[in-house]
Amino acid sequence: MADYFSTWFPEGWDWLGWLIAALIQAVLLLHVIAVGAVFFIWLERKVAGRIQDRLGPTRTGGKFGWLQTLADGIKLLSKEDLMPKDADPLLFKLAPYISLTSSFAAFMALPFASDWVGVRLNIGLFFIVAVLGLEVFGVILAGYGSGSKWSLFGGMRQAAQVVSYEVPLGICVVVPVMIAGTMDLVTIGDQQSGLFSNWLFFHDPFCMILFWVYFTCGIASVNRAPFDLAEAESELVAGFLTEYSGIRWSLFFMAEYGSMFLVSGLAAILFFGGWNGPIPIFFWVPEDNFTLETLANLVGLANFILKAVIGVLVMMWVRWTLPRLRIDQVITMCLKYCVPIAAFCFLGSLMWTALHIPFLNDLAPMQARADIREGWVQDIDDEMQRLEKRFALQAYELNSAVEGGPQQEAQTSLENDSADRVALSSTHETEESR
């Protein structure tokens, strides 16, 4: 996209094309978070209603209550923005924006289809996990800057929880990287093309277990029940959210729902093929056909969003089904269960891969994972081919410039002599073979 827009401007002003492309991508990603939050809040109300034998929203915007979240958003915009007198003005106002910005920044490296990504990084997975961990700083600053003991307790709980669960979460994401041989999420997704049996979830039995450990740690990292100790209303009024109202209160929830979609989307890429469906439909599309490639990517985008929404739906199901854990139970769950299970599965998957033991991935393989190369490697290959063509053209021009001179005659004589020797040698070999 940036290369296309850069052609609109004269030489020296091509940076405007890159700026336009960056703005378009930023607006699209921001709409993923904002529109996703509107949809997921409505969906959670309907899911909670069904689990609790209720109907949920039924009036605003029709019998299904489609506009209920939008109406609540307008109400939050019109509410008075209050701040306690004992609060730190800078930290109190800055905290919700840090949480939202951290969630938004992680989306820049999340691919939605093959090569449909804001910034393709060869360390994309590492970038997302690292940036997603920064969201906790918004919660800590909100708890510390509110000037309330309930908020401070909630912030400290969240800090302990996130730091603890990042250890098993990191172990879980290392295994798909080890199998694929790259941290480029586009390459990891493309390596799982073909039938559903080629998904990394079916690589070995340990990957199946690792997915559930990853999903458990993901729920804890985005502060969802039963791990939502930072805002436990039965103990801390509302935790770090106690003193917030209006638009700042809504920014925290936008960050939370955005992180839920991000964690579910990352699980879809690492374990369930990303944008690849269970049955390949567009494997016959040639690479140079822009229309068919776009159509295939649109179908892949629908696959990816569907898998991520299913993950968010399971998080909602868990929230309204299981009771909240105590803080000691949350830490025990991490250190006594998630970390040992993740470490055991890591070693098991490592041995399974090293010994080349067959499993469901080997039932109907359509391509070798090594055939899918990282973006930067492909760029180097393209650059080398371009340089070879340029050097060949320069050599041809140099030979043409000295054509007819003594050097050219000598070179021609040597070439003719070499050709005669080759022909004579081949004649002798033919006679000997006879």
Q: How far apart are CA 162 and CA 218, in angstroms?
A: 10
Q: Which token pair is 253?
A: 């929830």
pLDDT band at 249 (very low <50, low <70, confident <90, very high): confident
Q: What is the mean pLDDT of residues 255-277?
A: 93
Residue 426 or 161, more confident: 161
Q: Is there a contact between 198 and 384 (Cβ–Cβ < 8 Å)?
A: no
**What ranges in 146-181 are assigned the alpha helix state H?**
149-180
pLDDT in tens, 33-88: 989 999 999 999 999 999 988 888 888 888 888 898 889 888 888 888 888 888 88
- Predicted pLDDT at 376: 57
Q: How far is CA 116 from CA 49, 102, 120, 181, 422, in A?
A: 36, 21, 9, 21, 53
What value does the mean pLDDT take over residues 340-368? 84
Mean pLDDT of 391-405: 72
Asked whether the predicted pLDDT for residue 370 surpasses 60, the reply is: no
Name the 3-class secondary structure at 89: helix
Angle CA(396)–CA(398)–CA(404) in degrees, nearest 5?
Answer: 100
Give 93-146 pLDDT, tens digit per residue.
Answer: 899 999 899 989 999 999 999 888 988 888 999 999 999 888 888 888 888 888
Q: Distance of CA 312 to CAs 17, 82, 299, 401, Å?
A: 36, 32, 20, 68
Mean pLDDT of the chain: 83
What percentage of residues in the chain have a pLDDT greater than 70?
Answer: 85
**Two tokens, residue 212:** 């559930």
Residue 431 has a pLDDT of 47
For residue 294, is pLDDT > 50?
yes
pTM above 0.85, yes or no: no
Lowest average pLDDT, out of 297-301, 364-368, 382-386, goes to: 364-368
How far apart CA 12 and CA 431 sit, in angstroms, is: 66
The alpha helices in 284-338, defined as continuous H runs, are 290-319, 327-332
The pLDDT of residue 414 is 44
116 pairs with which residues across the strands? Answer: 113
Please answer whether residues 180 and 187 qualify as being in contact, where contact means their C-beta atoms are separated by less than 8 angstroms: yes
Whether residue 111 contacts residue 292, with contact meaning beta carbons closer than 8 Å, is answered with no
The pLDDT of residue 216:
94
DSSP of 408-429: HHHHHHHHHHHHHHHHHHHHHH
CA nearest neighbour of 257 among 211, 215, 224: 224
